[in-house]
């Protein structure tokens, strides 16, 4: 009976890992496709090491493309003692429905984490 419980517990952990990996992959694909749709010209300019158009909404963000191929804010925080994701947040189009859903999801997760999460403790 103990061995059976151990087996089920192990399977549960494996399933959780698979679900987490699938969610991360889905998040990546959603963000990547959203960025390409909204910022195709910016991707092209950055990849070709050209200056962004003077009319680009990203011009002041000093955008970079990370090792996963996602657009992130570059700039002055690159040497700060912060995790990479905080130094270089993802760039999302402000007025897109998917961006609204992502922000809503982040807000809901923050509420679930409670006060300590939102206060950085």
Q: What is the pLDDT of residues 22-79, one digit of tens each?
A: 989 999 999 999 999 999 999 999 999 999 999 999 999 999 999 999 999 998 777 7
Q: pLDDT-based confidence at 12, cuts 50/70/90?
A: low
Of 63, 68, 29, the closest CA to residue 49 belongs to 63
Is the pLDDT at 92 greater than 70, yes or no? yes
Q: Would residue 111 count as lying in a domain?
A: no
Q: Would the pLDDT of 98 be above 60?
A: yes
Residue 53 located in a structural domain: yes
Range of the domain at 24: 19-92
Give domain status of residue 114, yes or no. Answer: no
Number of helices (H) and strands (E), helices first, in the chain? 5, 2
Is 107 a member of any domain?
A: no
User: Is the residue at 57 inside a domain?
Assistant: yes
pLDDT surpasses 50 at 2: no
Q: How many domains does the chain have?
A: 1
Query: Is 55 within a domain?
Result: yes
Task: Identify whether the C-beta of residue 102 lies closer than 8 Å to the C-beta of residue 35.
Answer: no
């Amino acid at each position: 009976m103990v061995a059976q419980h151990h087996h089920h517990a192990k399977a549960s952990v494996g399933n959780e890992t698979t679900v987490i990996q699938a969610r991360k992959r889905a998040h990546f694909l959603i963000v990547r496709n959203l960025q390409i749709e909204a910022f195709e010209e910016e991707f092209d300019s950055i990849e070709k090491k050209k200056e962004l158009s003077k009319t680009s909404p990203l011009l002041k963000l000093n955008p970079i493309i990370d090792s996963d191929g996602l657009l992130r804010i570059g700039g002055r925080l690159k040497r700060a003692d912060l995790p990479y994701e905080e130094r270089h947040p993802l760039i999302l189009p402000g007025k897109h429905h998917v961006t609204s859903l992502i922000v809503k999801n982040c807000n809901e997760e923050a509420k679930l984490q409670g006060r300590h999460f939102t206060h950085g403790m």
